[in-house]
Amino acid sequence: MASVLIVEDEPRTADVLKRYLEQNGHVCAVSHDGHAGLGKALTEAYDVILLDRMLPGVDGLLICQTVKSQRDSFIILLTAKAGEQDRVEGLEQGADDYIVKPFSLREVLARVNRLVVARAPRQVWHSDGGQSVQVGDSLLDTATHVLRRGSVEVTLTATECHMLALLVKKAGVVCTKLQLACAAGLVAAETEFDDAAAHRVTSHMSHVRQKMSEVDCSCLLRTVHAVGYRVQCGASDLPE
């Protein structure tokens, strides 16, 4: 499942894309103009942004350039311009993919899924049914809560393990403190999230960062001020 932002000024096209992607397991938000789309893209964490190139308010290429300079979302440009120069311009502004209108819904889904899979961490299954998640050059055993690199290992609490597993699953994407609190079972709903819960998340993340350092994990835990955290694995933010 991925969080997808659709920035498309044609309401029917946006609605069809939203319904089709949600039918196939993704969670979607929609903006119909450049200003609103840019605002959402910069203030909320999305795995993939489907971005119309020609938009009222703010041009799609400018949105692409701005978002790529500040966020880690994948961007797929949707456009009626099929020329080579148009494609090159989009890619030079940071777009990860390019789809020419009119397009097939199945093609859009396939391209979204391809990017989501590229970001997903590799998982290692054990004969006893346990599972480890790759964190750069380290492994997080989600059954025993052990983070291991070679012969060096540290034990995380269940809360720390759940939080780190979520961050690695969405490597490169910012996870809010609310998302981390829910993943770890600190709160059951958004209405329960308060300053005390936010402080607990901060404390747990401090411990996770320390334990990642103890095994000399190649991934870094980044703090995104006033938003949350993200795991960065290498320059591309993709798990190694």
At 1 the pLDDT is 66
Q: How is the beta sheet containing 27-31 ordered, strand by strand?
A: 27-31, 3-7, 48-52, 74-79, 97-100
Q: Domains in the chain, start-ordered, CATH in brackets?
A: 3-119 (3.40.50.2300), 123-232 (1.10.10.10)
At 51 the pLDDT is 94
Mean pLDDT, the chain cut into blocks of 10 residues (240 residues total): 88 94 90 92 88 89 88 86 73 84 91 74 47 85 90 94 89 85 86 90 95 92 86 52
At 119 the pLDDT is 59
pTM as predicted: 0.54
Element at 199 (helix H, strand E): helix 195-214
Question: What is the three-class DSSP state of 210?
Answer: helix
139-144 long-range Cβ contacts below 8 angstroms, 24+ apart: 140/164, 140/165, 140/168
156-161 long-range Cβ contacts below 8 angstroms, 24+ apart: 156/207, 156/208, 156/211, 157/204, 157/207, 158/184, 159/184, 159/185, 159/186, 159/204, 160/184, 160/204, 160/207, 160/208, 160/211
Element at 118 (helix H, strand E): helix 105-119
Choose among 20, 23, 21, 16: nearest CA to 4.
21
- Pair 38, 64: CB distance under 8 Å: no
Strands 152-155 and 146-149: antiparallel
Cross-strand bridge partners of residue 131:
125
Question: Is the Cα dihedral 77, 166, 186, 200 positive or negative?
Answer: negative
- Pair 93, 51: CB distance under 8 Å: no
